[in-house]
Chain A
Amino acid sequence: MDAFKNWVARSGMGSVLILALVIMVVFPLTMDIFRLNLVGKYLSYAFVAVGLVMLWGYGGILSLGQGVFFGLGGYMMAMFLKLEASDPITTKIQSTPGIPDFMDWNQLTALPLWWEPFRHLPLALIAVVAVPMILAFIISFAMFKRRVGGVYFAIITQAVALILTVLIVGQQGYTGGVNGITDLRTMLGWDIRDDSAKYILYFANCVLLLAVILLCRWIQMSKLGTLLLAMRDKEDRVRFSGYDVAMFKVFVFVLAAGISAVGGAMFTLQVGFMSPSLVGIVPSIEMVILAAVGGRMSLVGAVYGALLVNAGKTYFSEAAPDLWLFLMAALFIGVVLVFPNGLAGLYESHVKPWLARRKAPKASTQAVEPPAAPLSSPSHKSAPSAPLPGGVQGQSA
């Protein structure tokens, strides 16, 4: 038992275990299926937030186009489900049975060739992850090899998000247009709309999310994670040490894209539709705020950030729609000016010292360092000063 405790403390797994408990035990026990389904939707955004922690917190690369990858993943899942939902029998009233209804409305008479692979689930699942990663590779390889970074990269990714949205909305015969792909019913004959399916999908989502967090954690703790941090803080020094900085950046961007795409696919499965409103610039920037609120350096924090911001959005846009945008504005400005390390940073700087103080009297026989002093205050300046592996783990709350 002690060995296990030590392992948990050393690897920073405690917070992951707590998260697993919260989302896989507490939520299902306390919420009805409607709410749990909503939480599942928020958790599908959490994939993007976790990807952004790797990309932005660790890699120092801000992408304003994560909605593109989330959307692509979601769309490709939706394409498979839509094809299954539009078999010739259910669509026999259409002038061309067997094609999705929106194609029929737009006078298409045959399924476009690039829809064909999405008849098969394995191909569709591969595409869900592979296509966004390939796109991410093309974008990032071209940019990072030419040492474009920071602001310019953000603007280009934003342009990509705009292109994809305009394309989806403009080509409604092929993509479903503004409405997106709706009316999804079954996956391989399994009805995804009934309650038991929603439970199963929720748990599948949780397991996938935790797996992704563990993967990212593993990357962070490896040499690669240290290199990413080093690159973020002093790119030139890493380059002069002989590392190919561009390829590391490409790697982390492609990784974040793949993670976001998985989230998109889980979104489609749980919510039952996909639309361009989840692809564009506004959702992409909102996804950044999820990571920022949770703490841009904390994988687990990003999940809490996603839950909190989206729950707030759902609550306030019903209760006080006027207030929500002001709150969102305050959140953006506050997270930048007041608490740049987000919830995780607040935990590190306020809750942890407090817990330590409470513990201190009990363990007074041991020499305990004054707890508050060595911990960094949540100011941005302190973030780059903690690139050492010790600092990394300190941020993992």
Chain B
Amino acid sequence: MSFDEIYNIALMQGFAGLSLFSVLLLMGLGLAIIFGQMGVINMAHGEFMTIGAYTIYLFSSLTETHAPGLMQLYFPFAILAAFAIAFIFGWLVEWALIRHLYKRPLDTLLATWGLSLGMQQVFRSTFGPKEVSPTLPDWLMGSWSPSEGLDIPINGLFVLVLTLLVTGGVLLALYKSRWGLRVRATVANRPMANATGINTRRTDRLTYAIGCGIAGVAGAAFTTIGSTGPTSGSLYIVDAFLVVTFGGAGSLLGTVASAFGIAQTQSIAEFFLTGSMAKVLTLLLIVTILMIRPQGLVASKIRR
């Protein structure tokens, strides 16, 4: 093997890690807001991602039958729609279920697990038990080869760029907008935030809905990588929670760091071991580190 080949393998391996990083981060972002900031254990997070994925599927099949000329264009709009639908649904769920349970985190866990079961059955009844994939526009297919023997898949690049955009957007919103200010005030000290005139209930609802909307975007992005079935959401849930917990709940930067660390560990381990053993090794590592350092990578400075 020449030096060039090794170099290319290293680059592609690095990109595989980056790709996994963007997937994990996108999964974790919505949860970092809902679980990290609000402390709500949303076991239905994966199903909100599935909502986004099915939205893309719906858009692609509608465009295909009614306006085949627009096939190259529908994707960005579908992503916005995925956000909107997941957002609205999240809003409703908060109103109907979550707001009654803020003081009982462990019960929220059970209730949202129930919700996720119900949503899975709705997906199954609506879209059928089989996995579906949307017809993607041509510009998302294939790979980009900047040099000989180096192939970087475009869908991976797309997810990476989208992740960076969403992360940047969330960071900006959380630290520069009025909503972000209200969220941070509510997280830091709820009674005090209430006393200063912040409507914490409204903030909660909006925050939960935004978290769900981001989950929808994540699900939408994942349709470029894999197919969607009624139970795909449940595959993500543990990973998403571990990313947020490992990063240190309450810290968005911690979530970014932990997604990066987990992704690189796993993709490097996958290079040497089988997929399942790499997963076991990574999870074991996370659990061990969390046992030693329960507050996660970046400890929040909030007094609880």
Which A residues fall within an 8 A CB radius of B?
A: 56, 62, 64, 139, 142-143, 146-148, 150-152, 154-156, 158-160, 162-163, 166-167, 169-171, 281-282, 285, 288-289, 292, 322, 325-326, 328-333, 335-337, 340, 380
Contacts and interface: CB of A to CB of B under 8 A. Distances in A.
Contacts of B125: 322
Contacts of A328: 114, 117
A240 to B, nearest CB: 18
Nearest to B122: A326
B121 A329 contact: yes
Contacts of A285: 110, 113
19 contacts: A143-B291, A146-B294, A156-B245, A163-B287, A170-B277, A281-B234, A281-B237, A282-B234, A322-B125, A325-B120, A325-B121, A325-B124, A326-B121, A328-B114, A329-B114, A329-B117, A331-B114, A332-B114, A332-B117
Contacts of B269: none
Contact of A322 (B39, B41, B107, B121): B121
A152 B294 contact: yes
B253 interface: no
Q: Determine the main DSSP class of A at the interface with B.
A: helix
A354 B173 CA distance: 56
Interface residues of B, number: 42
Contact of A166 (B97, B108, B241, B280): B280
Contacts of A380: 104, 107
B109 interface: yes
Nearest to A143: B291
Given A62-B106, A152-B290, 9 more contacts: A148-B294, A156-B287, A158-B238, A159-B283, A166-B279, A167-B276, A170-B275, A330-B114, A332-B114
B114 A155 contact: no
A159 B114 contact: no
A165 to B, nearest CB: 10
Contacts of A336: 101, 104, 107-108, 110-111, 114
Max chain B Cβ within 10 angstroms of own Cβ: one of A64, A158, A292, A336: A336
A319 to B, nearest CB: 15
B286 interface: yes
A169 B105 contact: no
